[in-house]
Structure formats: C-alpha cells, structure tokens
Amino acid sequence: MLKLLSSRFLNRNILVNVDRNLIASIIRNNHEIAPNAFTGNAHHIKVNLMKLLQATATIQTRRTKPTFFQKLTEKSDLLDFIKHSNDFCIKKHNDADKQRGLSEDFGIGLSVLVADHYYKINWNTLAKIRRRRGSKPDINCFSQSNEKIVIEAKGATSARARTRQKSHALQQKIGAVFAQANIASCALLKEDSISDVDFSDPPFIPPEDARYEESLFRADHYARVFNMIGQKELSEYFNLMRQRIMYDKDFDEFKRKLNLFNKIRKRYIRLTLRARRYLGTVEKFDDDLFVFTGIHERLLHAFDFINFRDYKDDYFEEEENHFYLLSDGLCIALLKNIRFLEPQIRPEQIPYHYEAFSIVDFDHSRESTVVKYLLYLFERIGCKTQKEAPLDSKLRPDLLFTFEDKKIVVEVKRYLNSRNATFLLERLAQLATTKSYKILLITNSRLGPDIVQLFLSRNVALIERTALKEIIERKETLLNYIK
C-alpha cells in the first residue's frame, strides 16, 4: 500500500506519435492545445505512475469481490516492472505469458493517460466495454467537453508485435461502438530507451484494401436503386455510406447518417424472411394492394456492409403475398394480406403511395401517372369520379368529378405558355357558359397574374405552378378552387 501511495509523486516521460486525423478532435476537446503544437507528430509527455495504476486497475481489474485485507493493492505489483529512470522503461519478466499480461496492463494504462493528456477525460466515466458478442474495443469514457471517447489499447515489447497489434486494433475499432473520438492506442514498451505510444485513428478501410473500391461501387449501387424505386431516405443513407467509407466519421453529414441509421433500425418495418431480417417501409397502392420495399439489415452496419456478399435471388408466395428477395439484399413484397404487420403498424397508419408525390414528380412523371395522382387528390378531399362526358363532347377533359351539387371538369396541361393558354381558354370558356359545370385548368408552368385573371374573367379557374405546389403540400387548399 505504501508503495502505491508513494507512486503519486513519481512521473515518467513517454513518447507519443499522434495521428494527424486526431488533431481536430483533440483541439475541440482541449483548448489549451494550439493547432501549431502538431507541427511534428512525436510529442514527449509525462505520465504519473499512480494514475497509471488507477487507470489499469479500473479497466483491467483482477477481482470483483475484494476482501477486507485487500486495500489499495490492485496492480501495485506493476511498479516492480518499471525502471527507476526519468523515461518510462520496463523490466521484462522471464515468463513469456506473464510478460504478455504485463504488456497488456501497461498498454491499457498508458492509453488512458495519453487520452487524458490530449482530451481531458472525466475520470468518473472511465469504464471497460463489456464484450457480449464479437470483438470490441477496451475502454470508453467521456471528455470534460462531453464527447464520447472509445479506445482499443494494446501493448507489446517488439516492433513486429506492435505492427500486428495495430492491424488487430483497427479491426476491433471498426463499427463497434459509436463515439466522437475512436482511437487505437498501441504502446511499444522498451527496456533501454523511452517507451512510445502510437495514438491513431486508422482509416475505416484503407484505400489499398481490395474491398475499398468494391464498397464504393456497392454504396453507389444502392443509392441509385433506392432512388429509382422512390425510397428517398434509403437512397440518401447509402450516399452517406459512401462518404463513411471514404472519410470514416470525418465528414459534415456524419451525424445525419447516424440519425438515419437509428431511424431505419428503430422505426422501419421489420420482416424476417428466409432467416434474414429486412428493414423497409410499406405503402398502399390501391384498395387491396400494399408494397413493401426494404434492405437486408446487415447492409446498414458499415463493417457488415463492406463484407457483404450476394446470395441467390429467391421468390415465394405466402397467404396471398408475393415476396421477392433479390441477390443484392433488396426485398420487394406485394402484399394483400397484411395481418402479420399489425403488431408493427395498423392498416390506417400505412401511407398512400401518392402522399409522397411532389412538384418534381409532377414535372417528370408520365401523363397517366399525373392523372392518377389527381384522381387520388380530388377523391381525398371528397370528390367523386364521374365517367360520363360533359355536354360538349368535343372537349374530352382529362377528369370529371362531382362535389356536392357541382360537376367539375378538370383539364391538365403541362408546360403551358401564354400563347397556347389563350387558345385553350377559348375552348374551356365554351363549356363554362353552362352553369352546372365548374371548369378547372391545372398546369405546372408559371403564369403571370394577368393570365390567371384572364381565365377567371371567363369563369375558368387556373391553378398554375405556385398554387399547385401549395396544393401538393396541403391538399385541403384545393377546396378553395372548387367550392
């Protein structure tokens, strides 16, 4: 115990090689360190031996049920293997297995002290990461600026062993635990010269790795596929996955990617099919058809994403439902029986496909799609579709509705200009003379107030681009034009 307490007054010098990728997070957490302090990568810092033992014992405790006799003794034997010199030098143990244990202890302790030097950690948050499944980093804590720090700590007595450990530290760092600073710390413990620590933020996947370019292609593939099938959030997510591969977490939209990841994982519909879990959304296409589109859950996790391998296309039917499991991890399901979804979503909560329709869709969709959208829109505000032709059979309008005691004739013209607008007005005005008809012209073109007023003067309501955008965003606005 006395030896442990006396170590409070003992300091040693170590050499730290700081990865330049960590500089931004260091300066963000420690305002005492100026950017010009990193003109070189190698820094000499002092470590306190009592703090070293405290850090090591916190993370690498040897017991969970201490006796009354065991007071302030945990890890104090490490002091016997530290030389009496200004620099941190070790005494090697003759037993190779015991030396590996000592190296691990020193590696953990030094990693915490280096993190404290650069990031100013809150010591009361220092804790070991529990290993429930797979390989994870060793340490997590918070800085005094309330940023989470995760460290994978290694210690070795030979340069060759440290090189091997740095590779392992990278694999354990990837995708394991979210943090603002994710660090691999590898100490090289020396007997006759100053020990040094490589404090690094290895790239998520090195560009020289054969999987790097393949993963970029894969991210682009999914972004394009989901853009094609109208899954905006998933398309955006895989665009951000591309940046994740190239820049790790150091890009402006990383927080957006994290938020999307949590939304997709927690709020999307889950289907377990053929022992695989898919996450996606379900939409209503007509009165008795629903469509699910989603992605294999493994493709959401960055580490699993870069190691994903295609499987065979699969198709099966079950209770009036058709499931298409594509080789690249996509799932498309045409559903008529959705009872199995009710634990996750009620039928009335499922959005109609056209609720996502935008002015851009109006511009670029086929005319038949635009007409179907307008059918949906008018019916949603209480109109009823009519089949019979109006009195003037030469006009043949695109849509005909009834609303209360009115008959509403709807003409749709994309890319209207003042010249053809005047020509069309003459035709519509003839029908407008019959008081039982409400005439409505809808266009995605911008027309001046003089043209709008001209139509109104001939009893034809004109919905041009500005008004159309407002109606698409808030369908109830359409009532102002038909009442």
d(CA 176, CA 139): 12
Lookup: tokens for 408: 């509403």
Q: Note whether 47 and 174 are same-domain residues.
A: yes
Q: Note whether 300 and 410 are same-domain residues.
A: no
Q: What is the CA radius of gyration of the chain?
A: 33
- 146 sits in the region (left: phi over 0; alpha: psi -120 to 50; else beta) called left
Cα separations in angstroms, 367 against 233, 243, 247, 363: 26, 37, 42, 9
Segments forming the whole domain that contains residue 187: 2-200
Domain boundary among 295, 325, 354: 354
359 occurs within a structural domain: no
Domain boundary among 354, 387, 407: 354
Domain boundary among 354, 374, 391: 354
Tokens 């292609």 — which residue? 217
Q: Which ranges of 45-86 would DSSP assign to H, the alpha helix?
A: 49-59
- Which residues have C-beta within 8 Å of that of residue 299, sequence separation ≥ 6? 222, 305, 308, 329
Phi and psi angles of residue 434, each rounded to the nearest 5 degrees, phi first? -85, 115
Q: Note whether 174 and 225 are same-domain residues.
A: no
> Coil, strand, or helix at residue 369?
helix
399-403 and 384-385: which strand pairing? Answer: antiparallel
Q: Note whether 350 and 371 are same-domain residues.
A: no
307 occurs within a structural domain: yes
Residue 43 bridge partners (DSSP): 16
Q: Note whether 329 and 275 are same-domain residues.
A: yes
121 occurs within a structural domain: yes
Q: Contact, 413 vs 377, CB < 8 A?
A: no
- Which residues have C-beta within 8 Å of that of residue 267, sequence separation ≥ 6? none
Which of the residues in the chain have pLDDT under 50?
Answer: 1-2, 66-72, 134, 175
387 occurs within a structural domain: yes
Q: Contact, 191 vs 91, CB < 8 A?
A: yes
User: Cα-Cα-Cα-Cα dihedral of 236, 446, 355, 258, to 10°?
Assistant: 20
Cα separations in angstroms, 414 against 242, 408, 417: 37, 19, 9
d(CA 284, CA 350): 7
205 occurs within a structural domain: no
Q: Note whether 299 and 378 are same-domain residues.
A: no
d(CA 362, CA 380): 18
268 occurs within a structural domain: yes
Strand order in the sheet with 127-128: 42-48, 11-18, 196-200, 181-188, 148-156, 139-142, 127-128
- 329 sits in the region (left: phi over 0; alpha: psi -120 to 50; else beta) called left
Residue 309: closest CA among 330, 335, 327: 327
- Which residues have C-beta within 8 Å of that of residue 175, sequence separation ≥ 6? 301, 302, 303, 304
296 occurs within a structural domain: yes
Q: Note whether 21 and 139 are same-domain residues.
A: yes
Lookup: tokens for 110: 């030094």
Residue 402 bridge partners (DSSP): 384, 407
Q: Note whether 348 and 372 are same-domain residues.
A: no
Q: Note whether 380 and 422 are same-domain residues.
A: yes
What pLDDT score was predicted for residue 71? Answer: 43
Q: Note whether 391 and 305 are same-domain residues.
A: no
Q: Note whether 10 and 125 are same-domain residues.
A: yes
Chain centre distance of CA 382: 39
State the pTM of this model. Answer: 0.58
Residue 90: closest CA among 100, 79, 98, 104: 79
281 occurs within a structural domain: yes
- CATH code at position 370: 3.40.1350.10
d(CA 354, CA 334): 17
d(CA 112, CA 181): 13
Lookup: tokens for 242: 């591309």
> Coil, strand, or helix at residue 455?
helix
Q: Note whether 372 and 300 are same-domain residues.
A: no
Lookup: tokens for 272: 């377990």
Cα separations in angstroms, 71 against 2, 61, 80, 256: 11, 14, 18, 48
Count of domains forming the chain: 3
